[in-house]
Amino acid sequence: MAARRTVSWLIAAQADVARIQKDDAAIAKKALQVAKDLEAGSVTGVKLRDAPRTGDLSDCCKIYFGSGSPPSHRFVYREVSTAEGLTLEVVEVVAVEARQESYVYLLASSRLKRLPEETKKAFSAVHQRVIARRFGK
């Protein structure tokens, strides 16, 4: 019997979708569909890796979604309980964001407290640019 899968969300990832909802309801709807598809097992992500800029996200996966080509947004999650014999697999959504400037990966790494020390200043600068774009500054 296949394990049942459930999706849990970091509070910050829930806030990502709520913010996206205010900016573009269609993109938010697509993000929620990704979560449903992930829970149903009809979609799986692409494994991330340990990278110098973003830190070790090798236990995480990304799913492309949104508008455009390449798709405008990324959904980053990790499997937190997948041991053999479990009847329930838990997938945790870490970040849902636009792909621009690799912000979603920096955000995921920051939320998991894996952001390399030498990247923290660059992450802060990217974060400030993202906020300025959101508020049209």
**Count of H helices and E strands in the chain?**
4, 7
**Phi, psi (degrees; rounded to nearest 5) at 42:** -90, -5
pLDDT tens, N- to C-terminus, the chain (137 residues):
456 889 999 999 999 999 999 989 999 999 999 999 999 989 999 999 999 889 999 999 999 999 999 999 999 999 887 656 667 788 999 999 998 899 999 999 999 999 999 999 989 999 899 888 888 75
Q: For residue 90, count other CB atoms closer than 10 A to its CB.
A: 15
Angstrom distances, CA of residue 32 to CA of 29, 82, 93? 5, 22, 11
- Provide the 8-state DSSP code for 119: G
DSSP string, 29-40: HHHHHHHHHHHH
CATH superfamily of the domain spanning 4-134:
RelE-like (3.30.2310.20)
